[in-house]
Structure formats: C-alpha cells, structure tokens
C-alpha cells in the first residue's frame, strides 16, 4: 500500500484556517486508515480557533482541529483482525503510553504521556480529524453497529465524557442530580444520568432556551434559569450562590421538592457555579468538576469538608466507548435522543471556518439554539 494525498483544514493562527494538502502514508501493520465523515466541534477546538491557545496551552505549529469523529475504514494494516474495509467506526483519538502505572490500572486518560488529536499539549502536535483521511491504531478504533449512525458515532466522544463523570460519581439509581450548565456537555451529563436511572435531574443555565430545551426533550425534569448578576465581593458572591442553591432545593418534580441533591455535575467552570454546587449538594454527596473555566477560584471549602462533600475532577474518559456504543445501539428507552443536540451542520473542509463561527454563537441567524455543530464530509 502506497502513500496518498489528503486535504486537511489547518489552523495557522487565531481564526486563520486554511485547506492544505498533505501526504498520508499507508497505515502501519497495527493501524487502519479511516475516511472521516462526521466531526463535532468541541469547546477546546473553539478556544484554539479563536485564540490559537486553550488556557495555558499555546499552539506551537500549524494544527488540524477536531476530535469528536466517526468515519469509514478504507485501508487495514496487515496485523489488524478486528476491522475491515467498509466498517463504520467511532474514533477514540487519545493515545496513552500504555506502560505507566496509571495506564496499567485502566486510568489511561490521565497518562502523562498521552497524545491527543487536536490538543497542542504534546509536541509535535497530534493532528486532529478535520481532514479527509487519517491513520489510527486499530486498538483505538471502535466498530459501530448498523443501528448507530455516523453522526451518533461522532457523539460517542462527548457522551463518553459524561459517562466517565457518571462513573466517577458512582451514581446510584434513584439519585437526585443537579447539572450546572446546559451546553452540549451539560446536556450529555443529564442524558447519562437519565440513562443510569436518576430519579430527578435539575438543570440550570443563564440561557432560558437551553434549560427549556433540556426539559422539553427529556434530558432533565426541572429547568432553572440562573439570574444574570455580577456580584463583586466574596460575601456577595457566596450570598448569590446560596440563593441559587436555595432555588434548586425548593424547585419541584411533580408535588415533591427537590431538596439537596446527591450529585452535582459542574459543567461551566464559573466560580459562582462551583460555589453553588457546594451549597446545593447534600452531606456525603459528590461534586463532579467537568467545566474547564476559571483556573483559580475562591470556594467555601469548609462547607464541603464539614459535610464530607467530595470535589472530584473529571478529565475526558477511560474505557467508556464500548458501553456508550452499546447504549446507543440498544436504544435505551431512558436515554434521551442525543442526536437532537446536533443543531447545525456544515459540509466540506471549505465550510469549517463558518462552522467555527457558528459554534461560538448562542443562536443562529434564524433564532435557533446552537448546541453542537457538526462538520460532515
């Protein structure tokens, strides 16, 4: 098998995307070549596009974005037995070292040697999936059953984040859950909780349309619109957080008050939401820290410690793809229709700059919500 030319979308600076041709070698013995068909745009991709950096991670060479992807196998390495040409697949794009203590205990998502497509953390950067074809180790390529669409295949990646958060929360059936932030990740966390037997899911966001979408489409049971306020002093911030936690507790599912929640999924990264999480979560409960936002925050930590409320970090996922694919394939009746999250679609490499501009908006030109933008090939 010989090398071939592929077209790729390449970021050269803030909002400077160019379509370029690069040479793609034949896949190695343990790799498959995949024609990328569907890629969801993620918040980290949007940060790189808008600022040429993501927090402290600065892009150091031109980089292809995209990591929430599915496609079709076009070539198979000589040692690969698990996949064949024509298979529809979801791509798990993080490659850990597989040798360190964390990898050996199954926590490969926090491996220090992790190379992750479309992240500038490793250098040279591991190029993302917004290109016509890629070679990828067959071990990290997951076959999709006939009943799962390629678009759902692209959603396996962010849904795996939500399922990993659920695993870290050790969520028990019958739990009451609070989700702070009703963007794509928050909605998927709500969906994961629903699929896992949560009794009630409360979702809160400053955007009324988003929380209404969540309740109308079965992602959540209670919608709370967070008041737009900008308290300045720490006393005012904590008073605001307590008030919001009180609104959660006094909200109702049917005739029953929600009260304090067992688990809070904090998906915003906003300081006031993290403070609210501490006040809203019951003694012995858990707060899942998912949102990558303000890196330094002032928190009422004794209010957590004295009630043994655990603050638990969540980073990407480990070993979740098979379960997520099975869940989508089985049409779990308690799982909301996650494909409804795809609100805008753009076709072809040339439309990717437009897709990113759309992903940065709250609503499109027709007044429709922007939740998840997908690029199809």
Query: Taking the CA atoms of the chain, what radius of gyration do you get in angstroms?
Result: 21
Tell me the average pLDDT of the chain: 96
CA distance readout (Å), 174 to 160, 262, 263, 320, 350: 21, 10, 11, 22, 47
Does residue 294 carry a pLDDT above 90? Answer: no
Other residues' Cβ atoms within 10 Å of the Cβ of residue 50: 15
Q: What is the pLDDT of residue 332?
A: 79
Q: What is the pLDDT of residue 162?
A: 98
Percentage of residues in the chain having pLDDT higher than 90: 94
Helices (H), 132-183: 150-169
Taking only the tens place, the pLDDT of each residue in 149-173 is: 999 999 999 999 999 999 999 999 9
Does residue 83 carry a pLDDT above 90? Answer: yes
Domains in the chain and their CATH numbers?
A: 4-143+341-376 (3.90.180.10), 161-313 (3.40.50.720)
Q: What are phi and psi of 210, to 5 degrees?
A: -70, -45
* Closest to 162 measured CA to CA, from 71, 272, 291, 46: 291
Does residue 115 carry a pLDDT above 90? Answer: yes
Percentage of residues in the chain having pLDDT higher than 70: 100
Q: What is the pLDDT of residue 331?
A: 80
Other residues' Cβ atoms within 10 Å of the Cβ of residue 255: 5
Q: What is the pLDDT of residue 1?
A: 65
- DSSP assigned state of 369: B
First to last CA, the chain: 24
Taking only the tens place, the pLDDT of each residue in 32-67 is: 999 999 999 999 999 999 999 998 899 999 999 999
- The two three-digit tokens of residue 260, written as one number: 């304090």
Taking only the tens place, the pLDDT of each residue in 264-273 is: 999 999 999 9
Chain-centroid distance of CA 261 in Å reads: 23
**pTM, rounded to two decimals:** 0.95
| Three-class DSSP labels, 253-321 | ECCEECCCEEEEEECCCCHHHHHHHHHHEEEEEEEEECCCCCCCCCCCHHHHHCCCCEEEECCCCCCCH
Contact yes or no for 217/340 (Cβ under 8 A): yes
CA distance readout (Å), 102 to 93, 96, 109, 364, 372: 18, 10, 9, 42, 32
* Closest to 251 measured CA to CA, from 201, 193, 191, 199: 201
Taking only the tens place, the pLDDT of each residue in 174-224 is: 999 999 999 999 999 999 999 999 999 999 999 999 999 999 999 999 999
- DSSP assigned state of 132: S
Other residues' Cβ atoms within 10 Å of the Cβ of residue 305: 12
Residues 349 and 347: their CA atoms lie apart, in Å, by: 7
Residues 271 and 284: their CA atoms lie apart, in Å, by: 22
Does residue 104 carry a pLDDT above 90? Answer: yes
Contact yes or no for 304/312 (Cβ under 8 A): no
């Amino acid at each position: 098998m010989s090398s071939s030319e592929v077209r790729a979308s390449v970021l050269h600076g803030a909002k400077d995307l160019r379509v370029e041709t690069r040479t793609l070698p034949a896949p190695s013995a343990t790799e498959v070549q995949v024609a990328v068909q569907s890629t969801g745009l993620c918040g980290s991709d949007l940060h790189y596009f808008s600022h040429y950096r993501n927090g402290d991670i600065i892009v150091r060479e031109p980089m292809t974005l995209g990591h929430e992807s599915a496609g079709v196998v076009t070539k198979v390495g000589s040692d690969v037995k698990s996949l064949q040409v024509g298979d529809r697949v979801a791509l798990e794009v993080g490659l850990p070292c597989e040798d360190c203590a964390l990898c050996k205990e199954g926590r490969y998502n926090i491996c220090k040697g992790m190379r992750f497509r479309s992240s500038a953390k490793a250098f040279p950067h591991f190029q993302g999936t917004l290109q016509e074809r890629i070679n990828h180790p067959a071990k990290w390529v997951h076959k999709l059953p006939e009943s799962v669409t390629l678009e759902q295949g692209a959603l396996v990646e962010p849904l795996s984040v939500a399922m990993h958060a659920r695993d870290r929360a050790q969520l028990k059936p019958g739990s009451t859950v609070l989700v702070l932030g009703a963007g794509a990740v928050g909605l998927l966390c709500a969906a994961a909780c629903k699929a896992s037997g949560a009794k009630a899911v409360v979702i809160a966001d400053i955007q009324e349309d988003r929380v209404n979408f969540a309740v109308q489409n079965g992602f959540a049971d209670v919608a709370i619109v967070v008041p737009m306020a900008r308290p300045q002093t720490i006393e005012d911030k904590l008073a605001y957080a307590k008030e919001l936690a009180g609104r959660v507790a006094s909200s109702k599912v049917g005739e029953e008050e929600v009260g304090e929640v067992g688990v809070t999924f904090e998906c915003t990264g906003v300081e006031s939401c993290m403070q609210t999480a501490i006040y809203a979560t019951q003694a012995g409960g858990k707060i899942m820290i998912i949102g990558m936002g303000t890196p330094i925050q002032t928190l009422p930590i004794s209010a957590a410690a004295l009630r043994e409320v655990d603050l638990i970090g969540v980073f990407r996922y480990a070993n979740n793809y098979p379960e997520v694919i099975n869940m989508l394939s089985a049409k779990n009746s308690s799982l909301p229709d996650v494909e409804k999250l795809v609100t805008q679609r753009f076709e072809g490499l040339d439309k990717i700059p437009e897709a990113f501009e759309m992903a940065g908006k709250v609503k499109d030109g027709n007044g429709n919500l922007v939740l998840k933008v997908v690029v199809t090939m």
